[in-house]
Amino acid sequence: MSSCAAETVGEVEVGAAGESCLPDSDTEEAWEEMEEEDEERELVLRIPCLFCDRIFNSAEDVFCHCTADHGFDIGVVSHKYGLNFYGYIKLINFIRLEKPAVEYFDSITGLIPWEEEKYLNPALADDLLLQYDIEDLLESTSISYPNGLTEASSLLESMKHAQERAERAEAALIRAHEDLQKMRQYAQDFVMSTEVRSGNVADLREDEDDVYFSSYGHYGIHEEMIKDKVRTESYRDFIYQNSHIFKDKVVLDVGCGTGILSMFAARSGAKKVIGVDQSEIIYQAMDIIRLNGLDDTICLIKGRIEEVDLPVEKVDVIISEWMGYFLLFESMLDSVIYARDKFLAKGGSVYPDICTVSLVAVCDISKHADRLAFWDDVYGFNMSCMKKAVIPEAVVEVLDSSTLVSEACVIKRVDCHDISVSELEFSSDFTLTVTKTSVCTAIAGYFDVYFNKNCNNRVFFSTSPCCTKTHWKQTVFFLEKPFAVEEGQELKGKITVHKNRKDPRSLIITISVSNVKQTYNLQ
């Protein structure tokens, strides 16, 4: 065997004739290294064009080819749409996936089609175009602009296109808003069964209150409230049994609805009663007042209390049935406070005058399982991911008093004579003393209402699970993970209540108990 006249390169000896002589011990390792180098060289040489099947050695070569042969200048496009690093990656992947024609980019209007997050995922494995530094490209002076445009003029053109897109988007938003209002009006006309009196309906305000007041134009809501004997008879008894408060007085009924409280006040000797309501039900209330011969005493005004002009400067008494679920849902107390501060005479009274909100622990394993375990098998489908969405929803329902496992704890006291709107958002510590060894599956809330000030006969009613049920029911906050409790144990916690900024009539409630914190929506 002839010897190799060789020079050594690393661990590989290259013979004079070009053949390789490899040390026996390192032969396999050396071959692997050489194969890796070959693969790397092959990878560098395989960068596909964005618009055809040609392969190039570098990103620069691809971009030059795209500009020269396809009329697609990546620099101009990046400037035009103000692409940053991520925008550039989305654009490359968009082209790889969707394969648009170059002409497509001149027809784009409105939103950029490659904005979706899915275009951050590489469309082509080991695509070296995705590793290209777009900032170097944008700063490069070698970018060619069509028709002799300078970088500054190209930027101005880009700004012009952006402004045009913004104007088109704004026009589309206006059209969508107009369509929404037409749909809203159609829905309102559909559900209202009475003819709207000409000239008596103020233009609808374009805000979220329209939905709220529209709902109170439906007769079913008022029927439910009037048939709630606890509610209606409590107001009746307070007014009739304390006629000295109303005798020869001017009374304001905020949110008068069908006018039932206004008529109670008139029958109790009020000199004048002014009922104010924004919903369409007030037209039925006008007929009801006339049917009962009380139109000389009762004056009804359609509108928001915050916007109407009263026929008097001050009133002696304000009555209102403003309470919502968990007492504060719907935020109608805000309007009562406004009326109190603007129209109530010095020494006047607001009724009800005192309200309290209480919490109590609940054990109802069956209902908790039904609310959550239900999603594990829905007609043969696993929908367990819904649990995370279901838990934060506060539930309004009637509780069985036998499911209560603690004493109640008052977390908020509302005095309607001096409370401010800002105080309706609050935090409160609470302690629930457990009365039965069991498992706590939920915390429930309810409220109590008092007619006290200057009353010879005080009236009180409660929405507690231990009392006659009302249309307010109770508000239940299910726990994601129930926990065991023992008789005599003190459950210490904290509750925070504030309005939903997107929908001020709904509430966001956060409860912390037993080292668990959960936020709920009441809407």
Query: Phi, psi (5° rounding) for residue 277?
Result: -155, 140
- Residue among 214, 231, 199 at smallest CA distance from 277: 214
- Point out the residues that are catalytic: 321, 330
Q: How far is CA 292 from CA 192, 194, 236, 250, in A?
A: 24, 20, 17, 19
Angle at 81 between CA 78 and CA 86, to 5 degrees: 65
Pairing between β-strand 12-15 and β-strand 20-21 as defined by DSSP bridges: antiparallel
Cα 292 from Cα 296, distance rounded (Å):
11
Chain position carrying tokens 């006339």: 290
Contact call for residues 447 and 355 (beta carbons, < 8 A)? yes
CA dihedral 127, 132, 138, 139 (to 10 degrees): -170
Please choose, from the candidates 181, 248, 238, the residue with its C-alpha nearest in 3D space to the C-alpha of residue 214. 181
Measured CA to CA in angstroms, residue 51 lies from 91, 101, 110 at distances of: 13, 8, 24
Task: Give the pairing type, strands 490-500 and 503-513.
Answer: antiparallel
Contact 84, 73 (CB under 8 A): no
Positive or negative, the CA dihedral 50, 51, 57, 58 is negative
CA distance 36 to 432: 70
**Residues linked to residue 395 through DSSP beta bridges, in sequence order:** 476
108 three-class SS = coil
- Tell me the C-alpha to C-alpha distance, in Å, between residue 111 and each of 17, 452, 510: 64, 61, 38
**Using the 8-state DSSP alphabet, how is residue 195 labeled?**
P
Q: How many CA atoms lie within 13 A of 517 on its CB side?
A: 4
In terms of Cα–Cα distance, which of 473, 417, 478, 477 is closest to 447?
Answer: 473
